[in-house]
Amino acid sequence: AQSVTQPDIHITVSEGASLELRCNYSYGATPYLFWYVQSPGQGLQLLLKYFSGDTLVQGIKGFEAEFKRSQSSFNLRKPSVHWSDAAEYFCAVGANDYKLSFGAGTTVTVRA
């Protein structure tokens, strides 16, 4: 069975600073990896996904993530954070049966 670990429960970052959210996964085969963002009162929005190919994936809103098989990681990054990036971020791993396993989430607070 697949599983995801997000080691950071809460991160506070200054507006304009860089952001990195960590994600480690456990899965026996080639993983399908996703990052979602959840804002209060909103549904989950897909930021980016990795299935195969280039290990550096570009997503929406200026986010990118790098898949590192040797480290079983799929960390999310953004070079310059905006106040609107304050939200809950979830890393997820998917299998061929379409089911997703989510990490516990990381809450991002952006300070002015």
Partner 1 sequence: GAVVSQHPSWVICKSGTSVKIECRSLDFQATTMFWYRQFPKQSLMLMATSNEGSKATYEQGVEKDKFLINHASLTLSTLTVTSAHPEDSSFYICSAPRGTSGGAQEQFFGPGTRLTVL
Structure tokens at 63: 């986010």
The binder of partner 1 chosen from 41, 54, 70, 112 (CB under 8 A): 41
| DSSP E strand boundaries for 1-112 | 3-5, 10-14, 19-21, 24-26, 32-38, 44-50, 56-58, 64-68, 73-78, 87-94, 100-102, 106-111
Q: Which is nearer to partner 1, 43 or 70 (CB)?
A: 43
| Position 49 contacts partner 1 (CB under 8 A) | yes
- Compute CA distances 98 → 13, 17, 50, whole Å: 34, 35, 14
Nearer to partner 1, 75 or 107 (CB): 107
Give yes or no for residue 59 binding partner 1 (CB under 8 A). Answer: no
11 binds partner 1 (CB under 8 A): no
Minimum distance from residue 102 beta carbon to partner 1 (Å): 5
**Does residue number 95 form part of the binding site for partner 1 (CB under 8 A)?**
yes
